[in-house]
Amino acid sequence: MVMLAQSKIAVYDSQAVLNELPDKAQAETKLQALSDRLQAEYKTLQADFDKKYAEYQAIATDPATPAAIRDRRVQEVQESDKRIQAYQQQAARELKDKEAELMAPINAAINAAVREVGDQMGYDLILDIAKTPVSYLSNNVTDITPLVKQKLGL
């Protein structure tokens, strides 16, 4: 207990810092542009599926349509649906990877600023209240969010 009482503990809010960084807005713009391109391609795939499905429906109920043609159209619809599903998974992975790529340097800058403040002020422990569940926070704990923002030029 004595050792804990001697520790210097601080908190900061990474979300408050992140929301003020201009790099975050630039990253979000790039992500939105990628999302828009991916969505446009999805719409193209969906239109192709809708066309194939409509063609299938047109011949499915016609008793004069040979079974080979109906079977081929069913297969085309199924393949188109599989392509859409595969594309959705790939697009989601691509967006997630791009977000991680764009946010990595931003998060590294925030972490460096936190470490610098921690070293300068002699803190033993700094908690990110945006990510760490904190059950109780007394008034004796120092919030270094303004110092982190200052280190980042905000």
Q: Residue 59: which of 50, 49, 51, 69 has the closest Cα?
A: 69
Residue 1 confidence class, pLDDT cut points 50, 70, 90: very low
Q: Tell me which amino acid residue 111 is.
A: N
pLDDT in tens, 78-95: 999 999 999 999 999 999
pTM attached to this predicted model: 0.76
Q: How many CB atoms lie within 10 A of CB 87?
A: 16
Rounded to the nearest integer, the mean pLDDT of the chain is: 91
Write the Ramachandran bin of 122: left for phi over 0, alpha for psi from -120 to 50, otherwise beta.
left
State residue 131 phi and psi, 5-degree precision. -115, -25
Structural domains of the chain in order of their starting residue, each with its CATH number: 2-151 (3.30.910.20)
Residue 6 pLDDT = 66
d(CA 149, CA 28): 20
State mean pLDDT over 106-134. Answer: 91
pLDDT in tens, 43-84: 999 999 999 999 999 898 888 889 999 999 999 999 999 999
Write the CB contacts of 38 (distance below 8 Å, at least 6 apart in sequence). Answer: 91, 94, 95
